Structure 1
Amino acid sequence: MSKRRINKVAVIGSGIMGSGIACHFANIGVEVLLLDIVPRELNDKEKAKGLTLDDKTVRNRLVNDHLQNALKSKPSPIYHKDFAKRITTGNMEDDIAKVKDYDWIIEVVIERLDIKKQVFEKLDKHRTPGTLITSNTSGIPIKFMSEGRSDDFQKHFCGTHFFNPARYLDLFEIIPGPNTDKEVLAFLNAYGEKFLGKTSVVAKDTPAFIGNRVGTYSIMSLFHTVEELGMTVEEVDKLTGPVIGRPKSATFRTVDVVGLDTLVHVANGIRENVENDERAELFSLPNYINTMHENKWLGSKTGQGFYKKIKKEDGSSEILTLDLNSMEYRANKRASFSTLEMTKSIDNVADRFPVLVKGKDKAGEFFRKNFAGLFAYVQNRIPEITDELYKIDDAMRAGYGWEHGPFQIWDAVGVEKGIELMKAEGYEVADWVAAMLSSGKDSFYTVKEGNTFYYDIPKKEYVKKPGQDGFIILDNIRESKEVFKNSGVVVEDLGDGILNVEFRSKMNSIGGDVLSGLNRAIDLAEKDFAGLVVANQGKNFSVGANIGMIFMMAVEQEYDELNAAVKYFQDTCMRLRYSSIPTVVAPQAMTLGGGCEMTLHADRVVAAAESYIGLVEFGVGVIPGGGGSKEMTLRASETYHKDDVELNRLREYFLTIGMAKVSTSAYEAYDLGILKPGKDIVVVNKDRQIAAAKEVAKFMADQGYTKPIERTDIKVLGKQALGAFLVGTDQMNAGKYISDHDQKIANKLAYVMAGGDLSEASYVSERYLLDLEREAFLSLCGERKTLERLEHMIKKGKPLRN
């Protein structure tokens, strides 16, 4: 079979989902044709302009409006605004013949079988034989959709279910039809992982497939448990959020965001179509859900759901909560449980589960009941919805944002303990689970030689989970490949002469232990290895320096210690740049402050596409002090060209710091001067990121890496720049855009980035700028308003404007 390539994709249907899918294909460089129906009547604007139904702008109005709404939405579906140029719009009457030139056609129209079949009939007339054609249905059986279509259509047709929003949720379910070619499934599985950055899961053609079947069960089970245990909305959200590795929005707030009507539609669809599901009655809606549905209390889209935001008389806003007994909104009640207090010191979520199920209060009862039901449900879905247990875990983690899937939670609790919980609630253990235990295997997963193995039910043995060859999973190699560790880092041998230094501090903040660990890793790499990667697989790469430590030193006025700590940070970043081995930093998710400064000093950066990188120190009343202010001055000077207005270039870099700009994707970090085109690369699948970073470090080492020479040729503009910046900050303050303290911080930054008050433009060294930067940082730490900002950030987790 010839090698299939996807250069052009046609997306049919431009609603929220269709536009989101179109944007994500544009994100990865694919040319996209987005089509929708022709409007049946003119709107008021079109009538006022005297347009007719034949005008092209009218005929493409729906598709263009939908796409523009998507591009304006937050969070954005697109990595960079310029990528939207890769999308061409059109309509189903004038432009459908164009699909003959496209490699993959994806249908994303309304969830009605009759309409989908009409669309496929039209597409079958125009598509080129061999073209992939798939449906993004979330529940309609795939077997019904391709009935009556050509043999070639059926061979190349299946379901490809993206989760909304398509850019951010990683699950990509592939559902074969009765005649889908196996090569098509294999291609889509690999394409989803490698190009779309997804977790691909091949599912069976069963109601709601895998993710929504188990996910909807989980939510519906909670809806009924609330009534059974007499719990409040706040209590359930407290127990089903970050404490068990689920999103902050937990259960009820998530339903508000997604929309209650969507959930009701899916739940009804499952209930009507699962004759053999032992928990089918659970998908029936409790009375309070029916009442909410009738009242149109559907969540964010209707302004109220389980929560309701109101404006108070003093202009402030308040979030009220629905009382499920009285069905009236009331003030929020804080939920607290002694069981949760017991887990506060346990950072690793998996280690919390055994503690949670032992709780003596209502929370303990809730977790025992909830996990017992979940374990019983998923054991019985094999082989109905999938033959492999890992697919259920992958689907829940990638589609619902769970840190651990059901079988992983069961492993964490202990398989025997899980059975005990199930029996206490009246559930039977599945034959295959009993057989696994009786054969001496006491877990669903095991790790061998850095790879995850899962229990294969027909083979009755552990089998290597597929698709890991392109991945390096730090959890799997941490113990066996450890070279050094302290309280802040673990240094692992990635093989081929490349070391990895992984931050393991709280929230991956950078303190003395992380810095000493990083220096030790550089020592080890320079002595016995070829290169160094700085990467981790935490929720965030790093939220910055340990501001608690900075605050304590500043409050105690221990300025010598603070000066030494800041210099240590600067020297460590400079070592990343000027060591004798290549260094590669691999940022992902939040990469703020000190995390960004480390990124700026690497030889190369391999960034996950979902990287939110920025120098945000202004928010805590200081300037970047780990080399960030120096580095942005250096990078500005590299952009100066003959006859250029150099001050304008410098101003862009100054504003990047002064406005605490954070990229909303790695691609935006190029615009901010944080990533360098042609040098730094972006990886869409974050699971492949560390392997890619290792390859970059190895390539640099193999090519003969030479230690760089420190820079002494940085052009600074002196008084010319300083004067202009001071006038600018004065105007901003006078116009009440910034506070007096904001102005003070900005002026300190201006002094550093101008290179001081030199009488004319001059060339200076990195060390000169680092000294200016550190001096400015320390002087700001002596300001009362900076201490207030630091304290506010530590206590509230958000910046203070003072």
Structure 2
Amino acid sequence: MIGSGIMGSGIACHFANIGVEVLLLDIVPRELNEKEKQKGLSLEDKVVRNRIVNDSSQSALKSKPSPIYHQKFASRIHTGNLEDDIQKVSEVDWIIEVVIERLDIKKQVFDNLEKHRKQGTLITSNTSGIPIHFMTEGRSDDFKKHFCGTHFFNPPRYLRLFEIIPGPDTSEEVLDFLHMYGEKFLGKKPVLAKDTPAFIGNRIGIFSIMSLFHQVKEMGMTIEEVDKLTGPVIGRQKSATFRTVDVVGLDTLVHVANGLYENVPEDEAHDLFALPNFINTMMENKWLGSKTGQGFYKKIKKDDGSSEIKSLDLDSMEYRDQKRASFTTLEMTKTIDNVADRFEVLINGKDKAGDFYRKNFSALFAYVSNRIPEITDELYKIDDAMRAGFGWEHGPFQIWDAIGVKKGIEMMKEEGYEPNSWVTEMLEKGSDSFYTVQEGNTYYYDIDQKKQVKVPGQDAFIILDNIRESKEVFKNSGVVVEDLGDGILNVEFRSKMNSIGGDVLDGINKAIDIAEKEYQGLVVANNGKNFSVGANIGMIFMMAVEQEYDELNMAIKYFQDTMMRMRYSAIPTVAAPHAMTLGGGCELSLHADRVVAAAETYIGLVEFGVGVIPGGGGTKEMTVRASDTYQKDDVELNRLREHFLTIGMAKVSTSAYEAYDLNILQKGKDIVVVNPDRQLAIAKKQALLMAENGYTRPIERTDIKVLGKQALGAFLVGTDQMRAGKYISEHDQKIANKLAYVMAGGDLSANQEVSERYLLDLEREAFLSLTGERKTLERLQHMLKKGKPLRN
């Protein structure tokens, strides 16, 4: 990795994430800093010569969110400088250049690299806009053959777009390898792009943002209004537009926009890439966003020590109190959970929001239709780029399909736009949508062939959206059970936020019933934003408020029994968690025979935040797992304490790899998948593998070693000290003591072996007693209203 800036270090970390050894190189400092002078160091000392690369990599490793799955993976990155260590590039397989975006500097770097790289070594540039063909001028034939652009998006760990931009002489073998490696190993969405300014993602993405910048002034809108309209309601990030620019940095956006303004003079939207006056003013004032402490938003410290966020008024260019944005049109979408179904409602709005969406989508549809074949020949690549690089839930052509192609054209014409002629030709040829689903596969309209063609690369994936209707075996309000083929069923949660309530538990039990009679195995997976945010706490709150303790006891027992069925059914069960997997979602994963987790899985038992302990078998299971780690002559209490703190501190892993440390995932059994598109297919294979190897129904455990009063006493002393030190509240202590009682196995006088059912009864009793506490009800209510835990 040549260049250790934000992108270079980030890419290095992601290669380390997947197990690759990385050599990260940067320039040698030209002068000593103050600290080095005080230590009496010279420019010849190695610690000085590697200062830039080491400072950069350490800064990256400390950044939030972390660029690395686990801090121990950082040992796979070795650092050096471009003078002392350049000869080491002869030992590597792939060189990635990530230096400043100046062609002259890049050419100097390539001159130096060509002296040392061995024949056949891959060499790619992470440029975000410099034409690839300029970089290969004067290079050897072998260099040109093995050279192309590989544009990662920032942050490299989290954004999945991987643009591959061939040069004039790049071999097909190299392109095939990069596509395969990017998808299979790096977990990316590889998109082959043409060598045009800003390639695909930034060309469309920067157009979309610059179009908004001009539109906000024309329509007299506030930044709060635009962020309200361009966030989760249309399947985009919570940070929407202006807050996202603050995070990324206004200077970064301006750099790409200026490059486009200079390099696409023939673009019909050329003038949109010119910076509006308010952007120029912000650049002059160095209001670049988070990095300078202010941008479109500014955090202000108040006299009482609290802080508030002010918004920039684009007319006065002064910061003011935030204004709440609300629109009648958005209110009409509140009951529509599926984002794709909202677009038709949004463009038919009769208020300012409706006007905004009609103008915005019309401009976007016209622009993307005109970029084919300039930036790509295939429309699906534009959608892939926007989803994987900018976090859009739906790409432009998918949004257009959701509105209806003909309806979209009518809207565009009313707003003064025309689609490219190939769109009207598509309609004339009998295709009335850009995409279709045929036999479980996605097809797109191919402009050259003038027909629907299968999107390549789907063979390794199972896409639930494509098979849900045709492969449905059972359905209720909470789940859809689908036949994945080869004797494997899938349970897909379809509840709000994939929370686990009675309907979901019914669906899991029904799926197990069906699978035990007619199938070989069961997977629990979904394509939701999060795997599951946990149990339906609204239901728990209502029962607790009404003091319906018998019903609540039955509901908790039903949850526990369902989790036990996951563990002790006659067929193998596999959980495939991803993203937020909290509370009940974590408990389900703990009880599956095997877990196939996406690398980006944030999993933990967080019930303390709502005033209870894990009640769906989670407390029992962590006690069992602690018992299974006890070794001869081990300090068993220390092992149990680790598992107690995992629950008591509501620890959540920041990746699936960290979940191994918490013993939520188990080494040698559970596996991690970097590419989430492959996760369901791999989970299915794991279920099938267990079935074919002669899966036998397990026997419930009766051999769990609990430590009784020895553990209980130690934990109670610990919670007393935490309370005395004011680290926890009185109610926190009460919950922790209940947890301690369960995990100690009660106040038994000595170590003893107990059954899972014994622990489940203790767990359920503790959970129920906590729901009778006023402060627990306050926590539950606060979570339901605010979506955040309450400390009381």
Report the TM-score, using the length of structure 1 for normalisation. Answer: 0.99
Q: 1:230 aligns with which of 177, 195, 220?
A: 220
- Aligned counterpart in structure 2 of residue 590 of structure 1, from 576, 580, 593: 580
Q: Which of 284, 294, 306 matches 1:294?
A: 284
- 1:113 aligned residue (103, 106, 110): 103
> Which of 212, 217, 222 lines up with 2:202 in the alignment?
212
Q: 1:382 is matched with which residue?
A: 372
The residue type paired with residue 63 of structure 2 is S
Describe how 1:493-572 pairs up with structure 2 within 5 A: 493-572=483-562
Structure-2 separation of matches of 1:335 and 1:427: 28
Match of 1:429 in 2: 419
- Return the offset for 1:352: 0.3
Is 1:633 aligned to residue 623 of structure 2?
yes
Q: Which amino acid aligns with 2:14?
A: H
Secondary structure, counterpart of 2:186 in structure 1: coil
CA displacement at 1:82 relative to structure 2? 0.5
- Does residue 687 (structure 1) correspond to residue 677 (structure 2)? The answer is yes
Which of 274, 294, 297 is the matching residue for 1:284?
A: 274
Q: 1:322 aligns with which of 312, 324, 349?
A: 312
Q: What are the equivalent positions in structure 2 for 1:768-787 lying under 5 Å apart? A: 768-787=758-777
Distance 1:329 1:743 in 2: 43
Q: TM-score, normalised by structure 2?
A: 1.00
Does 1:398 find its partner at 2:388? yes
Give 1:260's aligned residue: 250
Matched, 1:737 2:713: no
Aligned pair partner of 2:75 in 85, 91, 100: 85
**How many angstroms apart in 2 are the aligned matches of 1:119 and 1:267?**
26
Tell me which residue corresponds to 1:611: 601
> Given residue 511 of structure 2, which amino acid in structure 1 is its aligned partner?
A
Residue-by-residue CA offset, 1:181-230 (whole Å, 9 max, x unaligned): 01111110111110000000000000000000000000000000001111
In structure 1, the residue matched to 2:642 is 652
Residues 608 and 648 of structure 2 are in contact (CA less than 8 Å); yes or no, is this contact kept in structure 1? yes
Query: Are 1:175 and 2:165 matched, yes or no?
Result: yes
**Partners of 2:523 and 2:683 within 8 A in 1:** yes
Partner SS for 1:446: strand
CA distance in 2, matches of 1:320, 1:42: 40
Moved over 4 A (4+): none
How far apart, CA to CA, are the structure 2 residues paired with 1:608 and 1:146?
38
Q: How much does 1:275 deviate?
A: 2.4
Is 1:58 equivalent to 2:48 in the alignment? yes
Residue 429 of structure 1 and its aligned partner are, at CA, apart by 2.2
Name 1:46's counterpart in structure 2.
36
Q: CA deviation at 1:318?
A: 0.6
For residues 616 and 787 of structure 2, the distance between their equivalents in structure 1, rounded to whole angstroms, comes to 21
Distance (whole Å) between structure 2 residues aligned to residue 764 and residue 429 of structure 1: 70
**Structure 1 residues 554-574: Cα deviation after superposition (integer angstroms, max 9, x where no partner):** 000000000000000000000
Taking the TM superposition and a 5 Å limit, the aligned residue runs for 1:460-479 are 460-479=450-469
Contact 2:563 2:616 (C-alpha < 8 Å) held by counterparts: yes
- Displacement of 1:440 in angstroms is 1.2
SS in 2 for 1:204: coil
2:37 and 2:220 mapped to 1: Cα distance? 56
1:158-197 matches, cutoff 5 A: 158-197=148-187
RMSD of equivalent CA atoms: 0.4
> In 2, Cα distance between the equivalents of 1:288 and 1:444?
37
Give the secondary-structure state (helix, strand or coil) at the position aligned to 2:490.
strand
Distance 1:434 1:642 in 2: 75
Aligned equivalents of 2:527, 2:421: Cα separation in 1: 36
* Aligned amino acid, residue 616 of structure 2: G
SS in 1 for 2:78: strand
Amino acid at match of 2:211: S
- Provide the secondary structure at the position in 2 that maps to 1:527: helix
Q: 2:106 corresponds to which letter in structure 1? A: K
Aligned twin of 2:14: 24
SS at match of 1:126: coil
Cα separation, 2, equivalents of 1:43 and 1:326: 42
Amino acid at match of 1:782: G
What is the aligned counterpart of 1:37 among 27, 32, 37?
Answer: 27
Amino acid at match of 1:344: K
**Structure 2 CA distance, aligned partners of 1:334 and 1:429?**
36
SS in 1 for 2:753: strand
Counterpart of 2:320, as a letter, is: R
State the match for 1:788 in structure 2: 778
Give yes or no for contact 2:365–2:419 (8 Å, CA) kept in 1. Answer: no
SS at match of 1:352: helix
SS in 2 for 1:612: strand
Cα distance in 2 for residues equivalent to 1:644 and 1:362: 68
Q: Please give the secondary structure, in 2, of the residue aligned with 1:175.
A: strand
Partner residue in 2 for 1:247: 237
Separation in structure 2 between the aligned mates of residue 251 and residue 381 of structure 1, nearest angstrom:
23
Aligned partners of 1:555, 1:665: CA distance in 2, in Å? 36
- Deviation digits for residues 350-383 of structure 1, max 9, x if unmatched? 0000000000000000000000000000000000
Tell me the secondary structure at the aligned position of residue 742 of structure 2. Answer: helix
Question: Which residue number in structure 2 is paired with residue 7 of structure 1?
Answer: none
The alignment of Structure 1 onto Structure 2 pairs a total of residues equal to 792
1:276 Cα deviation from its structure 2 partner: 2.1
Contact 2:149 2:163 in 1 (8 A): yes
SS at structure 2 position matched to 1:105:
strand
- The CA distance in 2 between the partners of 1:197 and 1:573, in whole Å, is 31
Deviations 1:88-107 (A, max 9, x none): 00000000100111000000
State the shift of 1:583 in Å.
Answer: 0.2
User: Per-residue CA shift, 1:601-646, capped at 9, x if unaligned?
Assistant: 0000000000000000000000000000000000000010111100
Q: 2:639 and 2:132 mapped to 1: Cα distance?
A: 55
In the TM superposition, residue 315 of structure 1 has moved relative to its aligned partner by: 1.2
Q: CA deviation at 1:507?
A: 0.1
Q: The residue matched to 1:30 in structure 2 has which SS?
A: coil
Write the mapping of 1:128-143 to structure 2, written as runs, cut at 5 A: 128-143=118-133
- Paired with 2:419 and 2:60, the residues of 1 have a C-alpha distance of 46
**Gapped regions of structure 2 (runs ≥ 5):** none
Counterpart of 1:713 in structure 2: which amino acid? D
How far apart, CA to CA, are the structure 1 residues paired with 2:10 and 2:251? 20
Deviations 1:519-568 (A, max 9, x none): 00000000000000000010000000000000000000000000000000
Is residue 99 from structure 1 mapped to residue 93 from structure 2 by the alignment?
A: no
Match of 2:688 in 1: 698
**Structure 1 vs Structure 2: percent identity of aligned residues?**
83
Paired residue secondary structure (1:709)? coil
**1:742-763 alpha-carbon deviations (Å, 9 max, x no partner):** 0000000000000000000000
Aligned partner of 1:373 in structure 2 is 363
Q: Counterparts in 2 of 1:423-462, with a 5 A limit?
A: 423-462=413-452
Q: Which amino acid aligns with 1:600?
A: L
Deviation at 1:314, TM superposition (A): 1.4
Measured in 2, the distance between the counterparts of 1:764 and 1:48 equals 63
Matched, 1:709 2:687: no
Q: Which amino acid aligns with 1:122?
A: N
Distance 2:405 2:770 in 1: 55
Q: Secondary structure at the match of 1:84?
A: helix
Question: What does residue range 667-686 of structure 1 map to in structure 2 within 5 Å?
Answer: 667-686=657-676
Among 292, 296, 308, the alignment partner of 1:306 is: 296
One-letter code of the match for 1:476? N
Match of 2:613 in 1: 623
SS at match of 1:629: helix
Partner of 1:5: none
Q: Could you list the per-position Cα deviations for residues 660-683 of structure 1 after superposition, in whole angstroms to 9, with x for gaps in the alignment?
A: 000000000000010000100000
Of 148-157 and 275-284, deviating more is 275-284
